[in-house]
Amino acid sequence: MTKAATIVRPPAHYRVAAWAPGGATIRADAHPRADVLGRLRCGADWYGDAVSGTAQTMLGFGSSTLWVEDARGFFVWSGMLEKVRA
């Protein structure tokens, strides 16, 4: 039996949105109370894949369970990011 080829796709490209002038928080898990690992300034790039996590609700930003996980396993809530078109 032959093995199927594995398709490797690059992570999606995101940017901290202009509507988030305070930047975005990098967390250790897809949860609003997870440990804070750092901050991204407005306009900073973030590469990763959208994953489901615990709902985050922020006044003026809405509510979502989507987080973006990078290759290191760090998370940024998707409400602070905009997807960059390829």
Domain count, the chain: 1
Within-domain flag for 1: no
Within-domain flag for 60: yes
**Model pLDDT, residue 29:** 97
**Model pLDDT, residue 10:** 84
Tens of each residue's pLDDT in the chain, 86 residues: 566 667 677 899 999 999 888 999 999 999 999 999 999 999 999 999 999 999 999 888 889 999 999 999 999 999 999 999 86
Find the domain containing 16 and state its range: 12-83
- Residue type for 71, please? A
> The whole model's pTM is what?
0.86
CATH assignment of the domain containing 62:
2.30.30
Q: Which residues, including other chains, have CB under 8 Å from residue 84's CB and lie 6 or more apart?
A: 13, 14, 15, 45
Angle at 58 between CA 34 and CA 12, to 5 degrees: 65
Cα separation, 81 vs 70, whole angstroms: 13
